[in-house]
Structure 1
């Protein structure tokens, strides 16, 4: 049995999307003769906590923990504990906020978890003197975790896989950072150095793969997926024409055209508004709430701040339509939100607002799971919503999806195990 040491910042009780990928791989590794050892933080300041995920951890695996000092704690002195991720950078900061953003962007490279790097390297070098492993795996963001892997690779010549759940300089919020040219070059150098020196690089989409192939030929796409942990009992569909979005919705993910189209249809068809019910589950930026208000839809939108991961299945299964919005940013074609795979499991029509030639669009087309509308295609968006509404009124709104089992977490773990065994022959 191969022994894999996984270094991850996000681990239960962390909630949200960042924790899911490696929690699930760890869950299924032993089915493919991989013994996982997890190294994570002891006192993390997670934006979201979800105690229900603790039940997903195999009971007898070895979990190593070391404390971390996070400067974010200093930045938030005197404030309520933030529930915002990096994707919720304030796009209208105060002068003091601008200073803090500048300091964060240019003095904490690659990120504010950089102070965990050297203590982790020291701790793990001591651990590895007495404990044999076959492969080291780092997963980011935060991408400072990859620098732990890079140092251990250089000093101990370990086999190493760097897993990118999101890209580094192409991550959706990167263009918002007030970076100097020197800082940007440092980010680019560090990213390139990690990709070049890893024995293999795992990515979640083909656009990221294509971008990294110029630095390393062993780039493997292994997407995120769905599991059996979300209850999907037989349920009755909502009586309302419900449209549900699950997950963070920051200002870059504000579907302005969507709100306008809903209002326009409602103005033309009053019964549409009577039937409409929009659910937004997750952290919502104020800009989205303002757009909803401006389009007179406040009474038609239900905002739920957070639902534990094991409880969201019924929201997905009972909704008439599942809404997915990709951040309207320069790197949009390469964004694949983890939520899409759980949407696939629910087998409800998926309405996606995203580039129609991106990685996410390819998944929707391959699985016949829904409809992809580009950000500014008002005519197609309106006609698609009207067609879905007509089907709803007739009582035959459904989707005949296919090819979704390839995205089951166990099948994906099999692919990771194959990669590990190929590297460690």
Structure 2
């Protein structure tokens, strides 16, 4: 007799062929949930406007998952008449430096923050509640999970919770009102309060919350007394063809390089090393993979490093994995702000199993600092530690020249996608 499984409805905006880090978390959870007695059903938009596309990820969708779709109306299509490029960048989270924003950019940000609360996917909420209410009744769904951003997805969960006696878990891949870009949305006082009110209602109406970092858990505990679990992102066993190691000293940054993630101490250190050490200058390359803001490129040019840049642009997830495994050192940069202490970039975990040293820069109390330290996968510096950073780059370079540049990682298993999914399944199947 086949053991009973828990039917779980997962409501998400990002799903293959969407590219970028937002899609990976639930793509991998869904892959392993059936191993732990959970039958996943994924609800996604039929006609989304994704800022990044990766058709290769479609092949990674588990054949054990049921997928249902409903149309979505998104204003980004209309906004693109003003500026398709600027709209796409803002949609993907690349917000220009405040001092350098054009009139169109300022207008788009104001509209995004004040007209579409909590975000531009708000028009998917009511039709989804109507459709899913009947679906839940007809298919004996026991649990629903909403994952944001976009946080409008949580409003679907809120509506369904009010209509159905059902268990609701809200997964926050990023915070809501304390995430870095929230302050850039030019919110009116009334709009800012509406965000906070919705955030509070969601957190106090769901049965459980999942967050990706200890700092976010601490922040949310001030808003709700509901149980909060930390389930970080993680790594999976990927079957990708290997590329030869780069023959030159490559420092690689993979993922979006936002305007606020612009570490002048790094550019200054690299500029000085190129001037002081001819061999370093001949061997060095800065490899940028993914969208890079105009401000970051301008600063690189300011320090006369543009000749060392190899900007590959956005590549598929598999290509990104190949590049990070073949690079000499991997760069992990986070915004220097208390608001980003909670951010643990998803790529960190893929970095950790790439067998390449991580060079990380971020705020002093960043949660990812502790993970790098406990797993012995690299080094971390604050934005004030320029000389120490420069010295570490030089050390890595000397090890590269001696063919001894490597890492000896420890304790990685608990960050595997399957192990993390086991934790998630326990939350889903627990009856309390």
TM tier relative to shorter chain: over 0.9
Q: Is the partner of 1:216 in helix, strand or coil?
A: coil
Q: Work out whether 1:69 is the aligned partner of 2:73.
A: yes
TM-score (norm 1): 0.96
> Structure 1, residues 265-287: CA drift from partner, whole Å, max 9, x if none?
11111211111011100000011
Partner residue in 2 for 1:165: 173
Could you tell me whether the CA contact under 8 Å between 2:96 and 2:293 is conserved in 1?
no
Q: More displaced, 64-73 or 209-218?
A: 209-218
Structure-2 residue corresponding to 1:32? 36
Aligned to 1:56: 60
1:329 is matched with 337
Which among 121, 134, 147 is matched to residue 139 of structure 1?
147
SS at the partner of 1:105?
A: helix
- Aligned partner of residue 180 in structure 2, secondary structure: coil
Listed one character per residue, the Cα deviations across residues 67-108 of structure 1 (whole Å, up to 9, x for unaligned) are 111111111115446542442123333223322321221111
Q: CA deviation at 1:135?
A: 0.4
Q: CA deviation at 1:379?
A: 1.3
TM-score using structure 2 length: 0.95
Matched ranges for 1:251-400 at <5 A: 251-400=259-408
Cα deviation 1:173-196 (Å, max 9, x = unaligned): 112110111111111111111111
Shift of 1:216: 2.6
Distance 1:197 1:172 in 2: 25
1:202 Cα offset (Å): 0.4
Name the CA shift for 1:95/1:316 in 2 (closer, same or farther; >3 Å).
closer
* C-alpha contact (below 8 Å) 1:86/1:173 kept by paired residues: no
Of stretches 48-57 and 321-330 in structure 1, the one that deviates more from structure 2 is 321-330
Distance 1:133 1:347 in 2: 42
8 Å contact kept, 1:87–1:172? no
8 Å Cα contact 1:41-1:68 kept in structure 2: yes
**Given the alignment of the two structures, is residue 198 of structure 1 paired with residue 206 of structure 2, yes or no?**
yes
Contact 2:337–2:363 (Cα < 8 Å) also in 1: no
> What is the rounded CA distance, in whole Å, between the counterparts of 1:88 and 1:391 in structure 2?
35
Instruction: Report deviation, 1:311.
Output: 2.1
Q: CA deviation at 1:327?
A: 2.1
- Tell me whether 1:15 sits opposite 2:22 in the alignment: no
**Corresponding residue SS for 1:136:** strand
8 Å Cα contact 2:96/2:295 also seen in 1: no
1:4 aligned to 2:8? yes
The CA distance in 1 between the partners of 2:417 and 2:326, in whole Å, is 23
8 Å Cα contact 2:217/2:229 also seen in 1: yes
CA distance in 2, matches of 1:223, 1:331: 18
**Structure 2 residue 258 is matched with structure 1 residue 250:** yes
Runs of 4+ in 1 over 4 A off after TM superposition: none
Query: SS of 1:224's equivalent?
Result: coil
Q: Distance in 1 between matches of 2:88 and 2:185?
A: 19
Q: 2:225 aligns with which of 216, 230, 234?
A: 216
Between the aligned partners of 1:216 and 1:248, the Cα distance in structure 2 is: 34
- Within 2, Cα distance between the matches of 1:59 and 1:312? 24
Check the 8 A contact 2:335/2:363 in 1, yes or no: no
Distance 2:324 2:231 in 1: 24
Q: 2:119 aligns with which of 103, 111, 122?
A: 111
Distance between the aligned counterparts of 1:161 and 1:36, measured in 2? 14
The answer to whether 1:130 aligns with 2:138 is yes
Distance 1:117 1:352 in 2: 38
Mapped contact 2:212–2:344 kept (Cα < 8 A): yes
- Unpaired runs of 5+ residues, structure 2, are none
Helix, strand or coil at the partner of 1:307: coil
State the SS of the aligned residue for 1:24: helix
Deviates more, 1:92-101 or 1:300-309: 92-101
Q: Which ranges of structure 1 fall in alignment gaps of 5 or more residues?
A: none
Contact 2:109 2:184 in 1 (8 A): no
Q: Is the 8 A contact 2:235 2:416 kept in 1?
A: yes
Structure 1 residues 358 and 349, CA, compared in 2 at 3 Å: closer, same or farther? same
Contact 1:230 1:311 in 2 (8 A): no
